[in-house]
Amino acid sequence: MLGKLIEKYNVPAPRYTSYPTVPFWDKEKPATNRWLDVVSKTFSETNGNQGISLYIHLPYCESLCTYCACNTRITKNHTVEETYIDSLLKEWQIYLDTFSEKPIIRELHLGGGTPTFFSPDNLKVLIKKILKDAVIHPKHDFSFEGHPNNTSEEHLKALYEVGFRRVSYGVQDLDLKVQKTINRVQPFENVKNATFAARKIGYDSVNFDLIFGLPYQTRESITETFHKVLELKPNRIAFYSYAHVPWVKPGQRSYTDADLPDNEVKRSLYETGKELLVQYGYHDIGMDHFALPDDGLFHAHKNKQLHRNFMGYTVSNTQLLIGLGCSSISDAKYAYAQNMKRVEDYRQCVEKNSSAIFKGHFLNEEDQVIRKIILDLACKGETQWFDEYDSLIDEEMRVELLEMQAEGLLSFGNRNVVISEMGKAFIRNICMVFDKRLNAHKTCEEPLFSKAI
């Protein structure tokens, strides 16, 4: 039964860090004034109680990891650090000039790229200047992505001193053949040292990112990876499905589909990893994420307070997320905006004290209702809607939901859906049922997303 469901639902599907998803945003570039007006409105509604979130994209890496679908710039020239930081601060000033009062920073995340490409001193300068005209929320959550090969004690100490208490290491896989194929060789000893260093300094949470579906992975190799990883007992583990999108990321053409696990093997990789995680006390808290019982992500899941945005799952349900840096995406509750992807284009805009956004979307009432439904499914495992929105659920959607109910993936009431334990593996597919913009383009021949499973 499960095998047939995997075969049926292993189709391209969004990860739903937004609704509408990026391919279905407005066709025209958003007017800067209109975008900043929405930012100002959202800020006024939420800053005083929730605070805001900041995502800072640091795109530089010294080498290309071929599995990666992130926006990166490969260079060994570290003189780029200071000029890029200057651009980030100029962009932040544009938003500071828009806010009606000092922002309260609830959540701050450094992503990439490789944030630890930057020197400890430069990272510390960046964060101090970002926070200079802001208030730090008493329950703030500051985190960064670290590469086990180059995250030094100096990096960890520098960021700890400016409020960081969580680090997420991109482990991906520990099998040498897999690592060589994806051009990310990092010995287990490096992962171990980086983990111990963070805990020694005082970090509350150490998280690992792992991936299933990479070239040459087998059940035996992923079992060995998990046995090593679980020796270190990270507080959270994100166990992602590899997104094979060579039409977007040409680096992935260094291996072929024949090198990847087939659908059946790929699913067995996930089940193998999940079984070990549960055995070691981790809880499945949603799409791709597992946490120990003493971790904040688990408590947010248990209390149905999880939130999901462009940073993935978070414990801070802020309604305003400002993205700084090239390719960063901002979420201002009523609208989204994304910055230019090329470093040069981004820097050129902010050097002129101009917004660097090049695409966006302003949500209509229907978008807002569907976004809530999809967020509830992804974060709470259930959703419901009011009578006045019943017309949004058309006959085709009802038929799909009833079919999923018969398959044991969910229960479908008059105006509510509750995902079953088995249905957790198919959350992306269940969310797709409600995705009106995607469903209106089902005939599109060009793949827009990686496969769901």
Tens digit of each residue's pLDDT (9 = 90 or more) over 409-431: 999 988 899 999 999 889 999 99
- Angle, CA 83 vertex, CA 82 and CA 86 arms, to 5°: 85
Residue 163's pLDDT band (boundaries 50, 70, 90)?
Answer: very high
The pLDDT value given to residue 245: 77
Contact 340, 326 (CB under 8 A): yes
Predicted confidence at residue 181, as pLDDT, reads 95
Lowest mean pLDDT among 6-10, 42-46, 111-115, 401-405: 6-10
pLDDT at 87 over 90: yes
- Tokens encoding 265: 């093997």
Q: Give me the mean pLDDT over the 396-403 stretch.
A: 94
Domain annotation for the chain: domains and CATH numbers: 25-362 (3.80.30.20), 365-439 (1.10.10.920)
Taking residues 79-99, report their average pLDDT: 97
Structure confidence at residue 330 (pLDDT): 97
Write the DSSP symbol of residue 12: B
Per-residue model confidence as pLDDT tens digits over 259-308: 999 888 988 999 999 999 999 999 999 888 999 999 999 999 999 999 99
Residue 101: other Cβ atoms inside 10 A? 10
pLDDT reported for residue 244: 78
Q: Which of these ranges, 85-94, 245-254, 376-385, has the smallest mean pLDDT?
A: 245-254
**Percent of residues, the chain, with pLDDT higher than 90:** 77
DSSP letter, residue 248: T
Q: In what order do the strands lie in the sheet with 410-412?
A: 382-384, 416-419, 410-412
Instruction: Give the pLDDT band (50/70/90) at residue 49.
Output: confident
Considering only residues 155 and 248, tell me which one the structure prediction assigns the higher pLDDT: 155
Average pLDDT of the residues in 82-94 = 97
Round to whole Å and give the CA distance between 416 and 404. 14
CB 364 within 8 A of CB 335: no
Tell me if 291 sits within 8 A of 282, measured CB to CB: yes
The per-residue pLDDT for range 211-269, each reduced to its tens digit, is 999 999 999 999 999 999 999 999 999 999 888 777 777 778 888 888 999 888 988 99
Write the DSSP symbol of residue 334: S
* pLDDT score, position 286: 85
The whole-angstrom separation of Cα 113 and Cα 99 is 29
Q: Which residues of 196-227 are buried (b: 16+ CB within 10 A; e: fewer)?
A: ebbbebebebbbbbbbbbbbbbbeebbeebbe
Residue 108 reports pLDDT greater than 80: yes
Q: Which two tokens stand for residue 90?
A: 């100029």
Q: How confident is the model at residue 1 (pLDDT cuts 50, 70, 90)?
A: low
pLDDT band at 442 (very low <50, low <70, confident <90, very high): low
- The residue among 29 and 127 whose pLDDT is bigger is 127
Mean pLDDT of the chain: 93
Q: Name the most confidently modeled range: 52-61, 244-253, 346-355.
A: 52-61
pLDDT at 293 (0 to 100): 96
The arithmetic mean of pLDDT across residues 390-408, rounded, is 93
Q: What pLDDT is attached to residue 445?
A: 52
The Cα–Cα gap between 339 and 223 comes to 39
Percent of the chain with pLDDT over 70: 97
Q: How confident is the model at residue 451 (pLDDT cuts 50, 70, 90)?
A: low
